Amino acid sequence: MRNWREKNQHLLIEVPEPFDFKVNLDYLQREPNECMYEIEADMITCVIEINHVRTLIRISAVDNEYIDIECLNGTMPKLLADKEAIVDYICDWFDLDTDLVPFYEMGCQDPLLKHPIESFYGLRNIGLNNLFEALCWGILGQQINLKYAYRLKRQFVEKFGDSLDYNDKKYWIFPSFDKISALTIDDLADIKMTTKKSEYIIDVAKLMKSGLLTKEKLLNFEDFKQAEQELTRIRGIGPWTANYVLMRCLRYPTAFPIDDVGLINAIKLLLGLERKPTKEEIRALSSNWTNWESYATFYLWRMLY
């Protein structure tokens, strides 16, 4: 676990090097319709669940040396284990335990990664800690533009999620698989995702409720290919969604959504191509990214959005 300490009801986590809080904050606030957290005055406010207790936290940075976590409403847990759980959550979310130096050493000589690395130096692969949320977000976002995907997510969250109120604002908690598993397609009808997507999301919720699909299980595979296979066996989860979730939630460094249009368009942009690169061309261009495919994808996406 990273070094951290408590001071005046705040938790202070030492950040790794390289890390740039502002760059990560810019990533988090790139979408105005994001509904899972609020960002104001360089502070992130959101709800996290620690041992089934909902805690409203505010995250900021102290001179880019510490990440500062304040528990609002006097919700700082008493137990050391719960404080550590908050620290763990933040380390996971901001991917603080990955040593980025080898990525930058590789990437600074890579024709595709050179520019993104210079532009977003200190950016981490910001995660989606909640597996159900990551799966829903992946399924819901298939084959639609991102703006619309964020609208669908907001509708889904505001209809089926809970929220905490603080200073006249609502802070949302992503709907639980427990709740969604009990729904029918009709319940999801006024959220305008396709009927198929509604089916897939309810089925995934049922699978998670059954206990057959857990983060622990997906993390315990030797090889990410096995985890990928475990996911793609599920209806509605193809290679793109599987790799997206393995990258953003399970954090397999070799996860690589190679068919992603964002990745394709970022490469097209960076190389100034008239047409989209083929899959074979992308394979060739990414051949030196071994064990950093996930980070490379994240940085290339950032060039577009």
Q: State the catalytic residues.
A: 260
At 117, phi and psi to the nearest 5? -65, -40
Question: Given candidates 83, 124, 153, 248, which one binds DNA under the rule CB under 7 A?
Answer: 248
Applying the rule CB under 7 A, the residues between 254 and 273 that interact with DNA are 259-262, 265
Does the N-terminal peptide bond of residue 77 adopt cis geometry, omega within 30 degrees of 0? no
CB-CB contact of 208 with 216 (8 Å)? no
For residue 259, the minimal CB distance to DNA (Å) is: 6
Q: How many CB atoms lie within 10 A of CB 130?
A: 19
Size of the site for DNA (CB under 7 A): 35
Applying the rule CB under 7 A, the residues between 182 and 201 that interact with DNA are 192, 194-197
For residue 287, the minimal CB distance to DNA (Å) is: 21
Residue 75 tokens, joined: 């919700």
**Which candidate, 47, 116, 69, places its Cα nearest to that of 262?**
116
For residue 74, the minimal CB distance to DNA (Å) is: 35
**Which candidate, 19, 110, 31, places its Cα nearest to that of 296?**
110
Residue 83 near DNA by CB under 7 A: no
**Which candidate, 290, 243, 253, 305, places its Cα nearest to that of 110?**
290
Site string for DNA, 21-40 (x = CB under 7 A): --------------------
DSSP secondary structure code for residue 74 in this structure: G
Question: Given candidates 141, 175, 253, 277, which one binds DNA under the rule CB under 7 A?
Answer: 141
Residue 146 near DNA by CB under 7 A: yes
Of 45 and 297, which has the nearer Cβ to DNA? 297
**Which candidate, 300, 229, 233, places its Cα nearest to that of 262?**
300
Contact residues for DNA, defined by CB under 7 A: 138, 141-149, 151, 192, 194-197, 232, 234-242, 244, 248, 259-262, 265, 301, 305
